[in-house]
Amino acid sequence: MLRLLLPAFWLMTAAQGWAGTALVYDGPGTCDGCAEAMAEAARRAGLTPRLVGPEGLDPRVLETAEVVIVGGGGDMDVLREGIGDRRLRGLADWVARGGRYMGVCAGGYLAGRTLDDAGEVPGPDLIQGDAVTSTPFAARVETVTWRGRKLRMYTQEAPGFELDDDFAGEVVARYADGTPAALVVPHGKGLVAVSGPHPEATADWLEGDGLPPEPLPGPDFAAEFLREVL
């Protein structure tokens, strides 16, 4: 999944007066340009985005952040192994103490109870349920009901979410078949936002995948979703 890169001069620097730092994962397993797209959403939400690799999710770095964001990825096994089980456990502990996490597509899978198709590899269990594949592998635009609004949103092998019976969060959006597509969920003292579809996607994504042009929610919409957990 190739994405056009956004100007990145602001990604590694602080800006006076912004609300805090967003650590945007850009390590093994991410897709080209996906981290930059989520960093743009973070900037529009009033945060200072900082692209990081696995070491950027170490405990000492997490303590400097307002939110951790994991966007789209090309290979879940590479993503999981790149971050590592120790860092995933540390991320879950940090959120439980009051941190914030936003996961989109691959980042949504990463928040689940398990991290493999067989359900045998434990995940950080951030969402009171699990993520399951809900859309085809090929890139496409799906109609998603987002808080009562019908939106056309970019998806590619995007997750839906199977929720526990005692799920205490909010189902923000659903796919056409009713499967939960986006959630806001408390985790301990923290909050988690996950979305299977890409709210940050822009028209160039469609062009890059040979899809017909049509309006998409875009980075301002993604920033609005991110603000819900800040």
pLDDT band at 19 (very low <50, low <70, confident <90, very high): low
User: Right CATH number for 21-227 from 3.20.20.150, 3.40.50.620, 2.120.10.70, 3.40.50.880?
Assistant: 3.40.50.880
The answer to whether 155 and 129 are in contact (CB under 8 A) is: no
Q: What is the mean pLDDT of the chain?
A: 91
Give the amino acid at 7: P
- Cα separation of 93 and 91, whole Å? 5
pLDDT band at 144 (very low <50, low <70, confident <90, very high): very high
Q: Which pLDDT belongs to residue 190?
A: 98
Which of 1-5, 129-133, 169-173 bottoms out in mean pLDDT, i.e. has the lowest?
Answer: 1-5
Dump pLDDT digits (tens) for 92-114.
Answer: 999 999 999 999 999 999 999 99
| Domain parsing of the chain, residue ranges | 21-227
pTM for this predicted structure: 0.91
203-220 mean pLDDT: 96
Dump pLDDT digits (tens) for 32-80.
Answer: 899 999 999 999 999 999 999 999 999 999 999 999 999 999 889 999 9
159-167 mean pLDDT: 96
151-166 mean pLDDT: 96
- Report whether pLDDT(91) > 80: yes
Q: Which pLDDT belongs to residue 136?
A: 86
Sheet holding 180-187, edge to edge: 48-52, 21-25, 67-70, 100-104, 190-195, 180-187, 170-174, 140-146, 149-155
The answer to whether 174 and 181 are in contact (CB under 8 A) is: yes
- Cα separation of 124 and 127, whole Å? 9
